[in-house]
Amino acid sequence: MRILILLMALMSSFSAIAQSGNFTVSGKVKGLDSEYLYLYIYDESFPRGSRKDSIPVAQESFSFTASLPRTAMVVIYPNVERTVKRVGKSGYYPAKSSQFMFIASPESKIHFTGEISDFVHAYPAGDSTNADLAALNRAVYPLMNKSVNLEVKIANKLVSDTLLIKAMKDTSAQCDEAVVAIKKKFLAENPHSVAAAWLLSDMMIRSQVSNEEAEVFFGKMHPKLASVQYYPEVAKRMEGIKKTKIGSPVPEINSLNTYDGKTFVLSSLKGKYVVLDFWGTWCGPCIAGMPRMKAYLDKYPGKLEIVGVAQESDSGERWKKFIDNSEYKWHHVLSKKNENYVLAFNVAGFPTKIIVDPQGIIIGRYVGEDDEIYHKLDELLKM
């Protein structure tokens, strides 16, 4: 009977995650001296960054209520200048330690306390999920802030001594390594936590866990977390890891989400070498590499095909406009919610390029823009 009651309680607590309703977030944070905060809801129901609200601040306090269809990560930017890690006149380092972060669920009431110094030393309370997240961020935010402050000093050339610069870089790297170690410990110790499901998804995107580690962490997670959007995202990535290993048949891409609106089928390109190029219009290195990709397409006519698979934050308007105004008229597919090829191929870094041989077997995978893939293509196509 005790087991039945426990199961019913678990089902009740997790089913609440999927219900639609309003959440409220409030705070009383020392040093919060801005006029407005900016809030972003990262929910699968909305394109990334498109659901944005402003929150007025009065006497270091704020409160905000909004509707929410299901659990989502929410980020609030404090607009406090001393937390912005500026480089030069217009650049800056995006630092998580300079943000309020919490996981909102319908009907949840989250409250922040703490202070703002040169980072947001304030953490959420209100439910067990955010208690978990608060414990994690209390441990990692000071380390993140120390690391980014050192990087900012180096980037702004506030230090000239080469030995001191090396020592600062070493310290920054040690902080980053400590952050990753704390995150992995959190995953190991909190397999039932919604915060852990989000964290594993985030760490996989950032390549902070190996595929083998991710499999272990995911295997220990409670299946009731399947109702939270981050769990199926990780599940798709795990499936992608297995299906896109070197030597595996490439998963099919069969899509109408194409540049010309016509159906594209990847298997129709069998008989040629294919480069799957995962990119986005927001990705500078992706676009910087395209002239060389075109040069190789022209270099090996009839032997090589390129398939661009784009991930965009809007519905594809910028993507289509970019292709309209470019000479990169190879095959183009848009990865969307209903056809998420980024997850299916376990793509974390952009650009990611995958080489498929004429028999449809994956023979190479390259993250970033460097010479290695082009050396491999010459080796394959000159034969």
Contact 110, 26 (CB under 8 A): yes
**Count of positions (residues) in the chain:** 383
pLDDT of residue 16: 39
DSSP tally for the chain: helices H, then strands E: 11, 17
Distances (CA, A) of 34 to 82, 103, 164: 11, 23, 35
Distances (CA, A) of 210 to 96, 143, 221, 234: 22, 22, 17, 13
pLDDT of residue 229: 82
pLDDT of residue 147: 97
pLDDT of residue 44: 55
CB neighbours (10 Å) of residue 44? 16
pLDDT of residue 266: 96
**Full pLDDT tens readout for the chain, 383 residues:** 333 333 333 444 444 344 558 999 999 999 999 999 999 988 654 444 457 889 999 999 999 999 888 888 999 999 999 999 999 887 888 899 999 999 999 889 999 999 999 999 999 999 999 999 999 999 999 999 999 999 999 999 999 999 999 999 999 999 999 999 999 999 999 999 999 999 999 999 888 999 899 999 999 998 888 888 889 889 988 998 889 999 999 999 999 999 999 999 999 999 999 999 999 998 889 999 999 999 999 999 999 999 999 998 778 899 999 999 999 999 999 998 778 899 899 888 899 999 999 999 999 999 888 889 999 999 999 86
- Cα 372 to its chain centre, rounded Å, is 25
pLDDT of residue 257: 92
pLDDT of residue 157: 93
pLDDT of residue 90: 79
What's the CATH superfamily of 254-381?
Answer: Glutaredoxin (3.40.30.10)
pLDDT of residue 207: 86
pLDDT of residue 15: 40
Domain locations in the chain as residue ranges: 17-202, 254-381
pLDDT of residue 348: 82
Tokens of 173: 């790297």
Distances (CA, A) of 186 to 99, 139, 203: 20, 10, 12
pLDDT of residue 258: 93
